[in-house]
Structure 1
Amino acid sequence: MVVRKEKKSRKMRGYRTMGWGSKGQHRNRGARGGRQVGMHKHKWSWLVKYGKDWYGKHGFVNPTSVKISAISLRDLQTSIENGSIKIDEKDGKKIVDLTKYGFDKLLGSGNLNISGLSIIVRHATEKAKQKLEKIGGEVILTPNS
C-alpha cells in the first residue's frame, strides 16, 4: 500500500464533496469493519453463528488492579492429598513453598491435617496463621517481589 505524501484534507479543496461522494460524505459506518448496525434484524443468522458476545458490556480491565491468587487450608489439604502440591523435606522439616505453585495468599477456611508443616507464602490471614500454629506448623512470609 502506498503511503500518502500529504494529508487528504490538503487535496481536493474546491471540489464540493472532496472525494467522499455526493450523499454520505463518510458519515456512516459503511464497509470499514468493526461493530455495525442491523445485527439484531437482517444479520441475525450471522450473529447467532459467529457473534456470541456481540451484545452486552465489553468494558475494560483496570490496569492498576492487582489480582491475588489465594488458596485456603481446605484446598491446600486436597491438593497435597491428590499430589498436585508436594511437600519438601529440608533439615527434618516439612516445607511447602506456595510461591512456587503461583499462590500469593493463604486463607484460613477449612482445616489442615498435616502437623508440623511450614508454609512459605507472600501473605496469610491471621486465622490461617493461628490454625497452623495450633497443629505445630508455621507460616513463613516472604517479601513482596
Structure 2
Amino acid sequence: MVVRREKKTRKMRGHRTMGWGTKGQHRDRGAEGGRHIGMHKEKWSWIVKYGKDWYGKHGFINPTSKVVRAISIRKLLELVDKGAIEAKEENGKLVVDLTKIGYDKLLGGGKVDRPLLVTVGAITNKAKEKIEKSGGQVILTPQS
C-alpha cells in the first residue's frame, strides 16, 4: 500500500464533497450503524452487548503524572523466597537488581532478616536504614 504523505483533507480542498459522496458525507460509521441516534431506545441491545461504557462520565487521566512501579521490602523478600525474582548470593549478601526486573522504587515496609545488596532507581529513607542496619548495601542508579 502506498503511504499517503499529505492529509486527504488538504488534497481535497475546493471539491464540494471532499471525496465523501453526494448523499451522506461521512455521517454513518459502517457496521456500528446510523448516526448513533436511538442508542437509548431501539439500539439498546447493541449498547448492552458492546457499549458498556457508552453513557456516563469516565474520569480524567492527568497527562503529566508519572507512574512509579514500587515494591516493599516485605514483598521483595517474599518473591525471592518463592523464586519469582532471581537473586544471587555474593559475599554473604543477597544480590537483587530491581531495575532489570522493572521496579523503580524500594519502599520500607517489612523486616530485613538477611543482608541485601539492592540496585534500584529510588529508595525511601526507612528502606535504606533497614537494609544498612542488616549489613546490606544500596546502589542507586540514575532514573530515566
State the TM bucket, normalised to the shorter chain: 0.7 to 0.9
Residue 58 of structure 1 and its aligned partner are, at CA, apart by 4.1
1:79 matched to 2:79? The reply is yes
Offset at 1:32?
4.0
Offset of residue 136 of structure 1: 1.5
- The residue aligned with 2:4 is none
Match of 1:101?
101
Structure with higher Rg: it is 1
Identity %: 52
Distance of 2:133 and 2:92 partners within structure 1: 20
Aligned counterparts of 2:118 and 2:17: Cα–Cα separation in 1: 68
Counterpart of 2:103 in 1: which secondary structure?
coil
CA distance in 2, matches of 1:10, 1:131: 70
Task: Give the C-alpha shift of residue 126 in structure 1.
Answer: 0.4
Shift of 1:65: 2.3
- SS of aligned partner of 1:8: coil
Tell me how large the CA RMSD over aligned residues is.
Answer: 3.1
Output the TM-score relative to the length of structure 1: 0.72
Q: Give secondary structure in 1 for the equivalent of 2:47.
A: helix
Q: Which residue of 2 aligns with 1:132?
A: 131
The one-letter code of the counterpart of 2:109 is: S
Cα shift readout 1:98-127 (whole Å, capped 9, x = no counterpart): 0010000001112233x1111100000001
Q: Deviations over 1:20-78 (max 9, x none)?
A: 77xxx97xx94246882321222111110111121233466444322111001111111
Q: 1:16 — aligned with what?
A: none
Residues 11-50 of structure 1 correspond to what in structure 2 (within 5 A)? 30-32=27-29, 36-50=36-50
- Could you say if the C-alpha distance between residues 100 and 51 of structure 1 is closer, same or farther in structure 2, counting changes exceeding 3 Å? same
Distance across 2 between alignment mates of 1:96 and 1:124: 14
Note if 1:7 corresponds to 2:14. Answer: yes
Give the TM-score of the pair, scaled to structure 2.
Answer: 0.72
Match of residue 118 from structure 1: 117
Structure 1 position 144, deviation (Å): 1.8
Q: CA deviation at 1:89?
A: 3.1
